[in-house]
Structure 1
């Protein structure tokens, strides 16, 4: 990592916003040029999936896209974003989860049916014995399409709900939970959100295709959530990128890491020592 990335370190205001609301919006995380180039790579994959038979009327959920283009790989340790991730989670982290989603126009009339509200991580929310549930991980969503208006397949959230283990739903399954809002952002925006934040994907009632890349960061002792075939990228990656891609000296290093397991810790000791208290 170039020490210049520290200009993008998590601020106390950003920390407070994330801790209180469960999410953080970073406008202009990607430049217009970056957004255009990444969108071009995204569109090629989407077109290939359509040619292979994917139904153009349904959303494309495509994991394991990191190896498909260097532009996707470069976002794994992106200088404007990773410092904020380690600012929230610490240094013993890696990319455990990544997927791209293309949501085409639904072709359906708008309705007020209750969305599919959930917290991430599946069985974690049943089997962890704590309250509130532990943070464990977060996602960064890079929006490539314009969702600054409503009804474009917006990501909906209930701010502050990450500290609640349940969410009251409308009894008749019409309308949304109290306090629910759509996240409306321009292309190039990155949205960080706590895995515990109650959120929902929504139908796309517009004429635009919604395009988003999700990068999920968690502690190195968490198993991967997707089939991430990235080990072939280790050899040509920098030490910190290799850590983000799941490299470890051995299995025990995920629980009791050595310097070789977590080069980010050594880098932070030199450049941001307040991040390495323990």
Structure 2
């Protein structure tokens, strides 16, 4: 990491917004040039999956994509984003999950059917005996498409719902929860959201194809969600902090009781004179 990244450290206002609402929206995190270049690579992956039988009218959910291009890998420890992630979660973290979603126009008529509302992390929500449920992880979503208007397959959320263990939904399968809103953002925007925030995908009723990259960060003692391939090759070309983000460590015990060798991010923060 270069110390210049510290100019993007989490502010107290950002921390308060995230803690209170469960999400944080930051515009222009990606430049127009980055958006264009990343879109080219996403389109290439989508074209390949279409040739392999992907339904052209259904959303493509593609995991483990950081291996597919250097630009994806460079976002793992992106200087405008990682300081905010460690500002929220601390230094004992790594990237446990990545997926990109391409949502083409559905061709469907707009309706008010209830979306698939959920919190992330599956069984963790049933088997961790706490209230509210623990944060554990967060995701950063990089938006490559213009989703400034609703109806474009927007990500929907219920602000302030991250401390709720349940969500009331309609019995007839129509309508959205009280307080639900679409996330309407421009290309280049990054949205940080707590895994506990109640959220849902929506149908794309527009003529615009929605393209989003998701990077999930959690504590190092959480198991990976992806069958991450080519990890050894990625580690070989990475600096120590990126290696940590990719899941590297000295031994298994170090994921629970880390030494400095397991967490170079902690060492680097101390070298910058920051509290750890």
The TM-score range, normalised by the shorter chain, is over 0.9
- 1:64-213 maps to which residues of 2 (within 5 A)? 64-213=64-213
Deviations 1:89-110 (A, max 9, x none): 0000000000010001111111
Tell me what 1:18 maps to.
18
CA apart distance, 1:204: 0.3
In 1: Cα distance, 2:126 partner to 2:269 partner: 35
What is the TM-score with the length of structure 2 in the denominator?
0.99
Tell me what 1:221 maps to.
221
CA apart distance, 1:259: 1.0
Deviations 1:38-86 (A, max 9, x none): 1111111111111111110111000011000000000000000000000
What is the SS of the residue equivalent to 2:243? helix
Deviations 1:144-181 (A, max 9, x none): 00111010000000000000000111222211000000
Cα root mean square deviation, aligned: 0.7
In 1: Cα distance, 2:273 partner to 2:214 partner: 27
Deviations 1:117-139 (A, max 9, x none): 00000000000000000000000
CA apart distance, 1:272: 4.8
In 1: Cα distance, 2:194 partner to 2:273 partner: 23
Would the alpha carbon gap of residues 272 and 193 (structure 1) be closer, same or farther in structure 2, given more than 3 Å must change? farther
Tell me what 1:239 maps to.
240
- 8 A contact 1:231–1:245 mirrored in 2: no
In 2: Cα distance, 1:178 partner to 1:62 partner: 31
- 8 A contact 1:231–1:247 mirrored in 2: no
Deviations 1:229-264 (A, max 9, x none): 223211110000000000011100100111111000
In 2: Cα distance, 1:52 partner to 1:117 partner: 30
CA apart distance, 1:226: 1.1
What is the SS of the residue equivalent to 1:132? coil
In 2: Cα distance, 1:150 partner to 1:244 partner: 34
In 2: Cα distance, 1:59 partner to 1:167 partner: 25
- 8 A contact 1:21–1:159 mirrored in 2: yes
Runs in 1 of length 4+ with deviation above 2 angstroms?
Answer: none
CA apart distance, 1:227: 1.1
Confirm or deny that 1:267 pairs with 2:268: yes
In 1: Cα distance, 2:194 partner to 2:42 partner: 25
What is the SS of the residue equivalent to 1:88? helix
In 2: Cα distance, 1:231 partner to 1:149 partner: 41
- 8 A contact 1:136–1:195 mirrored in 2: yes
